[in-house]
Amino acid sequence: MSAVEACFDGLVGPTHNYAGLSRGNVASSTNAGDTSSPRAAALQGLAKMRHLASLGVAQACLPPHERPNVALLRSLGFSGDDARVVERAGRTAPHLLAAASSASAMWTANAATVSPSSDCEDGRVHLTVANLASKLHRSIEAPTTEAALRAIFADARHFAVHAALPAADHADEGAANHTRLAATHGEPGVELFVWGRSATGGPGPAHFPARQAREACEAVARLHRLRADRVILAQQHPAAIDAGVFHNDVIAVGHRDLLLYHEHAFVDPDGVVAACRAALGHRLTAVCVPSHDLSLDECVATYLFNTQLVDTAAGRVLVAPAECMASPRASAVLQRWVDGGHIARVDALDLRESMRNGGGPACLRLRVVLTDAERAAVLPTIWATPERLDWLEGWVRRHYRDSLTPADLADPRLLDETRCALDELTEQLGLGSLYEFQRAGA
Ligand code: SUG
């Protein structure tokens, strides 16, 4: 069966800011308190979608979430009308207002884990919404993500959307810790789930939290009805987590028959590669980058592995953040991949606004492998056609602020501006009344 890998990129929301909310994510901590540019961030994201579409990728988008999330603030005891809730939280608990205002839903690699129909026993595409339970600002994403995915993948003949797993022992960060390998997209593949902690104990990181639970990986594999001999569970190296590798997609990237990974990506890298090879009938090229070529710190600074691999008529293109090109050692690794015939070329993109919060090209997209019939069953208004990208660019220019400081989050006009923008967006994307404020006003 022929199939393509569609990319669902997150549209950056109007409250994109640097609040230092993600301990263990070096960029988030380093840039805490800086002034952001929501408009530049959103335009950079749209330029990426345009570039990927020009490479022939089936490109779609996922909407931002309503922020600030007034319901979160109410649940934490702030009361009054919405403007008053925001003002009170800003005055007495700015860290909670920051959590309620994060535009973190833009990193859609964390929205869900997706298994293509050829991997699932019932022949449907399965999507499990991530609970993102490890961080407060991310744990509030699941309900809107679920509503958006249910609207986009509504056809139950082709798609099964699962609600987020119950949290605690099942902390789940979605596709950022999940790699699917297969000779071609349409063939049954191998699904590699990478975890950082387990309720059964074992060695973990010493400084930073491990976000993904092994138990969550097991539950997703069960929900998706994957064949047991095609599921591989691997532990992320604790030293990598302590160096700021908070998701596996910061240190490994896989695409079809190619796995690029760092020496310290996994506790047992040779075992992982051997298991993938055996399950795939040995049709896998695995390329290890040793620490002496690129240290863990350099992986985190450059996001060399947080890249997208795209098959084009001109060969396999690697879409990387511009930060890689500024590093002679990361550039040398890229050149080696070109010389080794693993990639044909590198396209570097400016994603500076997202990168400064720890989000590279791969974080910004959710991969969904679709057959022709499944692609036709997706909500049609969600695809990033040239015309829709033009509209989205105009929409960003009309509604987004050029700059945002942490203090600006307490401005109640930001709430109104955001709602006004999102109301227009859901109409354009055919998403109906997706947000709480739209339903409350109905
Ligand atoms: O969860 N940053 C996100 C970045 C997510 C990157 N995703 C992948 N690797 N797939 C996170 O840490 C920072 C928000 C702030 O500090 O304002 C943030 O949430």
The active-site residue out of 5, 66, 146, 173 is 173
Which position has the token pair 């884990």? Answer: 113
386-399 vs 38-54: helix crossing angle, rounded to 10: 170
Residue 25 in contact with ligand 1 by CB distance below 6 A: yes
Distance 278 CA to ligand 1 centre (A): 34
Look at residue 392 in the predicted model and tell me its pLDDT. 98
Q: For the residues 292-317, what does the mean pLDDT come to?
A: 98
- Whole-angstrom distance, CA of residue 90 vs CA of residue 79: 13
Mention every residue, 6+ apart, whose C-beta is less than 8 A from residue 309: 253, 255, 256, 258, 316, 317, 318, 319, 343
- State yes or no: cis peptide before 38, omega within 30 of 0: no
Look at ligand 1, atom 7, and give the residue with the nearest C-alpha: 363
Give every strand in the sheet of 285-289, ordered side by side. 252-255, 258-262, 285-289
Look at residue 340 in the predicted model and tell me its pLDDT. 98
Residue-wise pLDDT tens digits, 218-248: 999 999 999 999 999 999 999 999 999 999 9
- Whole-angstrom distance, CA of residue 106 vs CA of residue 95: 20
Share of the chain above pLDDT 70, in %: 100
Ligand 1 atom closest to the Cα of residue 22 is: 12
Look at ligand 1, atom 12, and give the residue with the nearest C-alpha: 22
212 with 236: CB under 8 angstroms? yes
In the structure, what pLDDT confidence band is assigned to residue 442 with cuts at 50, 70 and 90? low
Catalytic: 218?
A: no
Residue-wise pLDDT tens digits, 70-92: 999 999 999 999 999 999 999 99
Residue 247 in contact with ligand 1 by CB distance below 6 A: yes
Q: Name the residue of 34, 37, 357 whose CB sits within 8 Å of the most ligand 1 atoms, as the mutation to test its pocket.
A: 357
Look at ligand 1, atom 11, and give the residue with the nearest C-alpha: 22
Distance 184 CA to ligand 1 centre (A): 31
215 with 169: CB under 8 angstroms? yes
Distance 229 CA to ligand 1 centre (A): 32
In the structure, what pLDDT confidence band is assigned to residue 203 with cuts at 50, 70 and 90? confident
- Whole-angstrom distance, CA of residue 68 vs CA of residue 100: 5
Average pLDDT, the chain: 97
Catalytic: 353?
A: no
135 with 391: CB under 8 angstroms? no
Determine whether 423 is exposed, middle or buried from the number of CB atoms within 10 Å of its CB (0-12, 13-18, 19+).
Answer: middle
- Whole-angstrom distance, CA of residue 174 vs CA of residue 363: 11
Q: Residue 441: pLDDT above 70?
A: no
185 with 5: CB under 8 angstroms? yes
Residue-wise pLDDT tens digits, 87-124: 999 999 999 999 999 999 999 999 999 999 999 999 99
Q: Residue 152: pLDDT above 60?
A: yes
- Which 3 state secondary structure label does DSSP give 192? strand
Q: For the residues 283-305, what does the mean pLDDT come to?
A: 97
Q: Name the residue of 363, 365, 367 whose CB sits within 8 Å of the most ligand 1 atoms, as the mutation to test its pocket.
A: 363
Residue-wise pLDDT tens digits, 29-65: 999 999 999 999 999 999 999 999 999 999 999 999 9
Residue-wise pLDDT tens digits, 159-197: 999 999 998 899 999 999 999 999 999 999 999 999 999
In the structure, what pLDDT confidence band is assigned to residue 383 with cuts at 50, 70 and 90? very high
Pick from 17, 14, 55, 10: nearest CA to 34: 17
CA 283, 284, 288: angle at the middle one, nearest 5?
Answer: 160
Q: Does domain 3-67+102-440 have CATH number 3.40.1160.10?
A: no
404 with 37: CB under 8 angstroms? yes
Mention every residue, 6+ apart, whose C-beta is less than 8 A from residue 36: 16, 17, 18, 353, 356, 403, 404
Look at residue 439 in the predicted model and tell me its pLDDT. 87
Look at ligand 1, atom 5, and give the residue with the nearest C-alpha: 359
145 with 44: CB under 8 angstroms? no
Buried b (16+ CB within 10 A) or exposed e, 219-253: bbbebbebeeebbbbbbbbbebbbbbbbbbbbbbb
- Whole-angstrom distance, CA of residue 422 vs CA of residue 161: 23
Catalytic: 173?
A: yes
Give every strand in the sheet of 125-129, ordered side by side. 112-115, 125-129, 159-162
Residue 208 in contact with ligand 1 by CB distance below 6 A: no
Distance 135 CA to ligand 1 centre (A): 10
**Among the residues of 153-233, which ranges form H helices?**
214-223
- Residues β-bridged to residue 213: 197
Distance 88 CA to ligand 1 centre (A): 26
